Structure 1
């Protein structure tokens, strides 16, 4: 280099040689720098779409006015948003960015159209927030496509049984899991005789049927199963009077199947006998409770409350859990092709932390997320099921809900 610089004084040809050497030196430096600083890989965006029915009577403010134990506190999209924020930096190691979108429709047909359009655009993961009948129709229409649907708000047992689909996963516990959790608790307390009060809604009947099944499974006795009606009609007064409804056969506890919650809130302290109330009021079986204080739960509750200005409820947790499951599967499989990713997500190797103290994963026979169920009042978690002493040959969490031998799901 010094020789070349000195030769610049000897004439034009020497100057030309000098420029060639300088350019060669500059190109070498650029190459060296490019090797020392690797170029960032192109980022792939994994899109997650939250589908919801709009309008959806389950979130009607007039219905949620009393904020019963059996009801949500708001749309679960907030739970999905919290999970996405937590995953902001997780995918960077493999060059993946996660994006959350929201789509709504007035009925199942509109949601099916949205799924088809978005799936053609590359979306493989959908959260669905809709009543059971809508979830069943959408998942049936989506069968065979390269996508996964996560049910975050429909507890219907039929979705895990006769109406199950291979691409439909459930992060919300179903009616059977909740009923089994309460039944285990009642057996542990030796409260074996139950008065069952059943509301007029189809959802009430599903809850009552689930509890009757649980009672038979765990050796409880249904003393009576009585219908109630919340009405101002004098001819139906007897069916809406708590004292009259609870004055029959002796019992240890009252189970109220009331998806609306308005009647259930009037049952505690109005029974003829001094008996505990469970089900829709008193002590409820839940996926989540803002009062749960273990395994990192206070931090999660604080994040949701800060984000949505309300407490976390079951569908919020289920949506949060669904996004976490997608993120975990994408990261662990290095964003593998759909078939491999879906296989991992539904397989035995996946480990999901739901902040409830157990390793969580999906059951192979019905795609239901194994999980503990919290037994909670309005402001305290009393117990976590499975209750100590209720055992299973392979996984004690399978004492809640449909075990493989009970499954009528045929993918």
Structure 2
């Protein structure tokens, strides 16, 4: 065979082989933005954590969701990948988001305090990206600080306090003693509960300030018995974002009354003891991935990835703008293993979802509770309805 014929035959064989190989899968990439040192996951804080505190980084939820997405991806010749990026502050995370966006990442999960999330969202407005807030419950992020590309999968304080208020009303516990901590976040939680109480007819018999201090001049503000004396009430709501005080309130009150809020009975997106709608299987996957019980942040990260996968699949991996439109639209149906089809509110990008009311080892109730109705969607009895929204994206 001549050299020319040999080269021609080799080229033909190579072309035939390439044609027979499967096409390389396209990759949908996620970014996971987090602080170098997040105080929420400090070892001392997690050791003494209350029911409302996370045990660790919610990245395990995202990792579990990516594993689940592989089966869908194989059918559509798609792959899903996650890249973690850390920074010391908001400026560093903005730089990381821009770097990843330039490299083709469009979807970002953000695990950071509310002030960092707000700054990041403001700086990236107008960029071709979507941010998912998976760990900041502050109402302001859904109200005055909202942004059109900032979605929220973690329930906010208003949703949590509305769920708790519904439960108190359903039990006919309509008079509540409110204990409020000194931190700014404590004030936010307290204000949210006061708003829920006004709307649902709960009487706050008194609001008392507590402090954690060894100063004898503040003894009365750190003594549970003294703080809970002198009034009659049906329940005690503790607004304690740090949790160290709240864990010592149950069984130390003057009156034998239930404790709710930061300890005793909490309102959360997820709890490992939820036993319905396939929840134990999801919990077991997260335990296997992270070596610990999952919490609300883990679920929020999991559902954020799952929402994007749903959008990519249903739009047949359409251009980014179409994916976002579907993600934010009324047609999307996301299974969060909590019994309701989930989707995002168009006015503030908050994920509609049931709230689990739980003790340390059991889910007592799921809100919205029967009898609390809304004209279009009962889940909108939790949090900011459209008429209450201050979001002007």
TM-score of the alignment, normalized to the shorter chain, above 0.5: yes
* 2:285 matched residue in structure 1: 303
Matched, 1:81 2:63: yes
Count of equivalent residues: 387
The structural deviation recorded for 1:38 is: 6.1
Superimposed CA distance per residue, residues 316-349 of structure 1 (whole angstroms, 9 cap, x where no aligned partner):
0100111101111111111111111100001000
Superimposed CA distance per residue, residues 137-185 of structure 1 (whole angstroms, 9 cap, x where no aligned partner):
0000010001000000000000000000000000000000000000000
| Partner Cα distance (2:89, 2:385) in 1 | 32
* 1:179 matched residue in structure 2: 161
Q: What is the TM-score normalised by the length of structure 1? A: 0.91
The structural deviation recorded for 1:95 is: 1.9
| Partner Cα distance (2:22, 2:331) in 1 | 31
Matched, 1:325 2:307: yes
The structural deviation recorded for 1:67 is: 2.4
Matched, 1:68 2:50: yes
| Partner Cα distance (1:80, 1:313) in 2 | 13
- In the alignment, which of 182, 207, 221 is matched to residue 189 of structure 2? 207
| Partner Cα distance (1:309, 1:339) in 2 | 37
| Partner Cα distance (1:273, 1:79) in 2 | 40
* 1:189 matched residue in structure 2: 171
| Partner Cα distance (1:212, 1:43) in 2 | 52
* 2:82 matched residue in structure 1: 100
Superimposed CA distance per residue, residues 76-126 of structure 1 (whole angstroms, 9 cap, x where no aligned partner):
011111111111121222221100110000000000000111111111000
Matched, 1:404 2:386: yes
SS at match of 1:194: strand
Contact 2:49 2:244 in 1 (8 A): no
| Partner Cα distance (2:366, 2:279) in 1 | 14
SS at match of 1:64: helix
Matched, 1:247 2:247: no
Superimposed CA distance per residue, residues 294-324 of structure 1 (whole angstroms, 9 cap, x where no aligned partner):
1011001111111111000110010011110
| Partner Cα distance (1:345, 1:95) in 2 | 21
SS at match of 2:34: strand
- In the alignment, which of 302, 325, 334 is matched to residue 352 of structure 1? 334
Answer with 1 or 2: which has the greater Rg: 1
| Partner Cα distance (1:120, 1:177) in 2 | 35
- In the alignment, which of 389, 393, 405 is matched to residue 371 of structure 2? 389
| Partner Cα distance (1:222, 1:64) in 2 | 31
| Partner Cα distance (1:51, 1:192) in 2 | 42
The structural deviation recorded for 1:249 is: 2.2
The structural deviation recorded for 1:39 is: 4.9
| Partner Cα distance (2:74, 2:328) in 1 | 24
SS at match of 1:236: helix
Superimposed CA distance per residue, residues 7-38 of structure 1 (whole angstroms, 9 cap, x where no aligned partner):
xxxxxxxxxxxxx9xxxxx99x98xx99xx96
SS at match of 2:247: helix
| Partner Cα distance (1:70, 1:230) in 2 | 18
Matched, 1:158 2:140: yes
* 2:126 matched residue in structure 1: 144
**Misfit runs of 4+, over 6 Å:** none
Superimposed CA distance per residue, residues 45-65 of structure 1 (whole angstroms, 9 cap, x where no aligned partner):
111011001111111011121
Contact 2:51 2:266 in 1 (8 A): yes
Unaligned runs of 5+ in 2: none
Q: What RMSD, in angstroms, separates the aligned Cα atoms of the two structures?
A: 2.0
Q: What are the within-5 Å matches in structure 2 for residues 223-242 of structure 1?
A: 223-242=205-224
SS at match of 2:47: coil
| Partner Cα distance (1:146, 1:295) in 2 | 35
Contact 2:271 2:358 in 1 (8 A): yes
Contact 2:186 2:240 in 1 (8 A): yes
| Partner Cα distance (2:47, 2:81) in 1 | 33
Q: Which moved more, 1:41-50 or 1:353-362?
A: 41-50
